[in-house]
Copies of this chain bind each other. A is one copy, B any other.
Amino acid sequence: MQFTSEQRLDDGVLEREFTLGEIPGTLWTPDSTAAPAPLILMAHNNSLPKSQARLVARGRHTAAYGYAVATIDAAGCGDRPRSAADEQARAGLRRAMQAGEPVDEIFESLVGPLVEKAVPEWRTTLDALLALPGIGGPVGYSGWMALGIRLAAVEPRIAAAGFFAGGFVPRAQREEARQVTVPLLMLLQWDDEGNPRQRALDLFDAFGTKEKTLHANLGGHTGTPWFEGEDASRFFGRHLK
């Protein structure tokens, strides 16, 4: 893991860009130098870039609560090169959306492979992060639900997961949901235009964990109220600290 830049923020959080082989990432660590900080892996739904403003704000904010927070652009995500199949699926998605045609199968062909390719890169990153001084377990996961389901199902170091329901979840991950047994907080925007509410409720029902909580708030995809950030920190506080 190579750090390529660093910036000390106003609240004492250290923000560092890194590369790990082909993987670019950002790591936010809190000011305190006491015990190792619990780690939270944070991913944005559907391959949005790690530099996206809301994700960056969430990373900084969460680190200020005393967590090490990391995000990466996995293969095909953010500014990483896309495969020809990816480009074709994205073009098809734009066409279908403009024409008002069904998009489920296109999303399936786009997001399914993204998750498949992302999981090993996130695990490699996890190995490297846990080898750094000042970062400890247990490990939490926050954000992109499809990726998080797969990671929580296959990666025993994930101890708690916060999922944002506003993203497409491929069939494979809908089926894997019952294998998720870690404590879970699912965040749902009640009127998220592109993400049918009933699918999120069905998925919440399907998760195999005994300790799961759903927080739903009125409003569209980007309308999550500020206090949910605090609620998420308290959720991770109960399970990672």
Interface residues of A (CB under 8 A from B): 190, 201, 204-205, 209-218, 225, 227, 230-231, 234, 238
Which residue in chain B gives the minimum CB-CB distance to A215? B215
Q: How far is the CB of A225 from chain B (nearest CB, A)?
A: 8
A204 CA to B197 CA, complexed, in Å: 13
Q: Could you say which residues of chain B place their CB within 8 Å of the CB of A225?
A: 211, 213
Q: Could you say which residues of chain B place their CB within 8 Å of the CB of A215?
A: 213-215
Q: Could you say which residues of chain B place their CB within 8 Å of the CB of A204?
A: 190, 216
A216 CA to B213 CA, complexed, in Å: 6
Identical chains bound together, number: 2
Q: Could you say which residues of chain B place their CB within 8 Å of the CB of A190?
A: 204-205, 214
Q: Could you say which residues of chain B place their CB within 8 Å of the CB of A231?
A: 231
Q: Could you say which residues of chain B place their CB within 8 Å of the CB of A216?
A: 204, 213-214, 216
18 contacts between A and B (CB under 8 A): A190-B204, A190-B205, A201-B201, A204-B216, A211-B218, A212-B218, A213-B216, A213-B217, A213-B218, A213-B225, A214-B215, A214-B216, A214-B217, A216-B216, A227-B234, A227-B238, A230-B234, A231-B231
